[in-house]
Amino acid sequence: MMEWVVASCLIIGVLFSFFSALGILRMPDAYIRMHSSTKAGTIGVGLIMVAVALHFHDTSVISRAIGIIAFILMTAPVAAQLLGKSLLMNNYKMWRGHQQD
C-alpha cells in the first residue's frame, strides 16, 4: 500500500518537473515561462520530497524533507519576483495582452 503511494507521488512529481522544463522551452514570452518554472517546478519538487519522506520514514530524513519544501516555497517566488521586476523595469514587451502603468 505504502509503496503505491510513494510510487505515485514520485511519478506525478517527476511529470510536473518535466512539464515545467518543457514549458520553459515552449511558452511564448519570458513572463509566462516564469509561471511555468515557479508553479509546476515547486509542486514537482514538493511531491518528490513527500515521496522521499514517506519511503524512508525516519526522523532525520523527514525533517530534512520538510526543510527542503519550506525553502523551495520561500525562495522560488523571490527569484521569480526579482526576474519579473527586472523585466518590468526594462520595458520587456509581452507577446500579447496589455499593460497598466
Partner 1 sequence: MNLFLLNILLAFGWMLLNGNYGSTDFTIGFVVGFFALLLTEPFRNKPNYGRKFWAALKLLAVFLYKLLTSSLQVVWDVITPTHLSHPAIINVPLEVESDFEIMLLANIVSLTPGSLSLDVSEDRKYLVIHAMFSQDEQSVIDDIKETLERRILEVTRD
Q: Which residues bind partner 1 (CB under 8 A)?
A: 16, 19-20, 22-23, 26-29, 31-32, 34-36, 38-40, 42-43, 59, 62, 73-74, 76-78, 80-81, 84-85, 87-88, 94-101
Q: How far is the CB of 11 from partner 1 (least distance, A)?
A: 14
Q: Which residue, 7 or 81, has its beta carbon nearer to partner 1?
A: 81
Q: How far is the CB of 83 from partner 1 (least distance, A)?
A: 9
Q: Cell 516564469: give the residue.
A: 34
Q: How far is the CB of 1 from partner 1 (least distance, A)?
A: 19
Instruction: Give Rg (Cα) of the chain.
Output: 17
Q: What is the SS3 assignment for 5-33? A: HHHHHHHHHHHHHHHHHHHHHHCCCHHHH
Rounded Cα distance between 22 and 30, Å, is 14
List phi, psi (to 5°) of 27. Answer: -75, 155
Q: How far is the CB of 71 from partner 1 (least distance, A)?
A: 12
